[in-house]
Amino acid sequence: MKISELKTRFQLELADVFNENERNGIWQYVMDFVFEISSTQLFIEPNLAVSHDTKQVFDTLIERLKNKEPIQYITGSAYFYDSVFRVNPSVLIPRPETEELVSNVLKSFQKKGCRILDIGTGSGCIAVSLKKARQDAELTAVDISEAALDVAKQNAEEICGTQSVNFILADVLSEDFGNLLETKFEIIVSNPPYIPIIEKPQLAENVLQFEPHLALFCENDPLLFYRAIALHSSTLLTSGGLIFFEIHENFGHLILKLLKDLNFENVQLIKDFQGKDRMVKATKNYDKKTT
């Protein structure tokens, strides 16, 4: 069977499941990670034949996609910030909005050897991407999930090298969280769980059915993790240190107020590429009393 015939079947069988843009994006994943065929190779050989084994793999893939299982979990791979990250259902699939968060962090520091803490690292996409871009930076990443940390460690080793990131198993909601860390940081960055449980019915089926709820939901307190991280920053951030959050678009004003009440300065709400309030940046001032 020719690859062009498989593509035609792919488009037809999934027409009622995904829109055209989604199908085209998924097909690219199939080319890259299932067939391992580059766009250039396909251009040169448009009638490339596939083996019987590959055809069987394709049949299974189609059935999984019909159940709306994310292609990233099927292939075990996700693109993020010019790298390919390993993913499985124990970690969230990295999003383009989080790439913007990484870009904003990178634009905001010049100091060599900058110490950065990534809270709720998941696949490690933030910490590993920062380390790849700035080899001189010292990265520490924490998560409450041991399974997630296993994925993150593998990504760090494959993309940046052994021991490039210091990983710690910890719960940021614990009062002794700060005691587990042996240094202060110039930057704290986090994309914590921020979806209230009440919004569950609004989520896409593929997200709700397959992605880890531990990394998605914040009970019904939208400030739960932001409050904990901001309070821990009183001991974890250096004077003038920066904090970066990815946020729920509906709760930006609440997070701004939280940070201002805790004496953060230069608190900024940043829009993403879709014009949504998606990031917050603030400076910690230790000259004022933190409550």
Reading the block at residue 192, the tokens are 């914590």
Q: Which of 37-46, 111-120, 196-205 has the highest mean pLDDT?
A: 111-120
Of 86-100, 111-125, 206-220, the range with the lowest mean pLDDT is: 206-220
Whole-model pTM? 0.89
Identity of the residue numbered 279: M
pLDDT of the residue at 287:
54
Q: Is 240 helix (H, G, I), strand (E, B) or coil?
A: strand
CA angle 199, 225, 107 (to 5 degrees): 105
Exposed (0-12), middle (13-18) or buried (19+): which is 226, by Cβ within 10 Å? buried
Q: Is 173 helix (H, G, I), strand (E, B) or coil?
A: coil
Scanning 67-145, the segments in alpha helix (DSSP H) are 71-75, 96-107, 125-133
Distance CA 287, CA 264 (A): 10
pLDDT of the residue at 119:
96
- pLDDT bucket at 134, cuts 50 / 70 / 90: very high
pLDDT of the residue at 46:
67
Domain ranges of the chain: 3-67, 90-284
pLDDT tens-digit series, residues 224-244: 999 999 999 888 999 889 999
Exposed (0-12), middle (13-18) or buried (19+): which is 72, by Cβ within 10 Å? buried
pLDDT of the residue at 30:
87
- pLDDT bucket at 182, cuts 50 / 70 / 90: confident
Domain 90-284 fold is Rossmann fold (3.40.50)
Mean pLDDT of 62-89: 93
Identity of the residue numbered 291: T
pLDDT at 188 over 70: yes
**Of 168, 232, 219, nearest in space to 193 by CA:** 219
Q: Is there a contact between 169 and 143 (Cβ–Cβ < 8 Å)? A: yes
pLDDT of the residue at 242:
95
pLDDT at 290 over 60: no
